[in-house]
Amino acid sequence: MSVKITMVGTGYVGLVTGACFAEIGHQVICVDKDEKKINNLNQGIIPIYEPGLDELVLRNIRNGRLKFSTDVKTSSSERDAIFLCVGTPPHPETGAADLQYVYAAAEEVALGLDGFTVVVTKSTVPVGTNRQVFGILSKYGNLKNSLAVASNPEFLREGAAITDFMEPDRVVVGVENDRAAKLMREIYEPIVAASIPFVQTSIESAEVIKYAANGFLAVKLSYINEVSDLCEVVGANVSDVAKGIGLDKRIGSSFLRVGPGWGGSCFPKDSMALHKTAKDFGVTMRLIESAIIANDERKLSMADRVKKYCGGSLQGKRIAILGLTFKGQTDDMRESPSLVIIPQLQREGAIVSAFDPSQPEGIDDLLPGITISSTPEELCVNADALVIMTEWREFRSYDYANFAKSMNCKVAIDLRNLLDEKSMQMAGFDAYHRLGE
């Protein structure tokens, strides 16, 4: 059954989800205040780097199931479901989720509602926010019996978002109105039909599921990163340890790849918000707090590691960084470990250059004083060390023997354990350092 859906917010979550809803047969309007962005989208110009998204958007514009608008009010009229997908950035000091955009969107949606509509919050919001949204919406009198809210958190990974939408581990919906629950099942039926679990629960439970999931994954990552540090001093191999524990179904093999620390638009924000929510309710959550602290300290320790491998001083050393984004296959710099590690290297006197395949925007502002190379070959000329910061798949196929020839010191420091010792020695590197080995 084709459902009439409006997505409020065409950022990473709203645009991917809206295009995927259209792909599975629904009539979708994606709304954003940013007129330039909407005009571009109407021409099929996609503002984010997400594999497969441009074809998906273009295909559904052509088949008439995906439209774009800047007007929330008119796009909220005669719709079956309206998804709030606006940002919930962390407060810089407290870490609390800033809900001004969610509440503002709810106010605008309320002005356009007519006919029974389910207003779904897909943005990651603290426990209790959906009830606040209901309160805002039902301020407008006649809505009380023609309105329901639902929490429908997303579990999309950047770089794999379309797959994560089309083949999710589960769909989670927090809803307490039967008609709304039926509609949510109809919306996801083309996906859930393929025996994907549809978890229907209370609104608060759905809100907690999102934070608890990301919080757990962040703890798991900080854990394997700390195990990696132990492996280094006891002569163990963290890759073997990760394999050995990951085969236990209770642990699972994913999210056990050691790295310079976790980043992105979600884990840092959501782990802080989870900790803040617990604190606000007088509940102690030590594990998530420790995972955040361990992660922050890890990024700085990576700079110390580079200094150690460069003979104990970075003064005047030319450091070449491969990869700037928070992870491979994305152009997203939000909370990327490079934003902490590179300034620390510069404070120690290093001259830093970098190459990133996605050529992320705004690097001059994000990382003042850094030189951006247009190719990895250019990056390595006269370098005193090559640091692999991000796990871009293409980094595996580079010609490191060619790079080594132009380097001043043939030292490689692999903060993602992406490459391997043997091939780097064959390529002519005098030293190749990994994590946890």
DSSP 3-state assignment of 353? strand
Q: Is 238 in the site for ligand UDX (CB under 6 A)?
A: no
With the C-alpha atoms ordered 107, 111, 112, 114, is the resulting torsion angle positive or negative? Answer: positive
**Rounded least distance, CB 37 to ligand UDX, Å:** 21
> Contact letters (x/-) for ligand UDX, 200-229, by CB under 6 A?
--------------x--x---x--------
Given CA atoms 214, 271, 332, 260 in this order, what sign does their dihedral have?
negative
CA distance linking residue 140 with residue 79, whole number of Å? 17
With respect to ligand UDX, which residue has the nearer C-beta, 317 or 434? 434
Residues 116-155 that bind ligand UDX (CB under 6 A): 154-155
Alpha carbon distance 243, 257 (integer Å):
10
Residue 267 binds ligand UDX (CB under 6 A)? yes
384 contacts ligand UDX (rule: CB under 6 A): no
Q: Tell me which of 299, 327, 410, 433 binds ligand UDX, using CB under 6 A.
A: 327
On the CB side of 94, CA atoms within 13 Å amount to 9
Q: How far is the CB of 411 from ligand UDX (least distance, A)?
A: 23
Active-site positions read 266
Class of residue 192 by CB neighbours under 10 A (exposed 0-12, middle 13-18, buried 19+):
middle
Nearer CB in complex with ligand UDX: 154/414: 154
Q: Which is nearer to ligand UDX, 384 or 414 (CB)?
A: 414
Q: Which is nearer to ligand UDX, 75 or 123 (CB)?
A: 123
Asked whether position 414 contacts ligand UDX by CB under 6 A, the answer is: no
Does position 50 interact with ligand UDX (CB under 6 A)? The reply is no
Cα 66 to Cα 35: distance, rounded to the nearest angstrom: 17
Residues numbered 247 to 266 that lie near ligand UDX (CB under 6 A) are: 255-257, 259, 262-264, 266
Distances (CA, A) of 131 to 120, 173, 285: 11, 14, 24
Site residue total, ligand UDX (CB under 6 A) = 19
164 burial (CB, 10 Å; 0-12 / 13-18 / 19+) is middle
Q: Give the residue from 320, 333, 312 showing the smallest Cα distance to 415.
A: 320
Cβ closest to ligand UDX, residue 23 vs residue 154 = 154
Residues at the interface with ligand UDX (CB under 6 A): 154-158, 214, 217, 221, 255-257, 259, 262-264, 266-267, 326-327
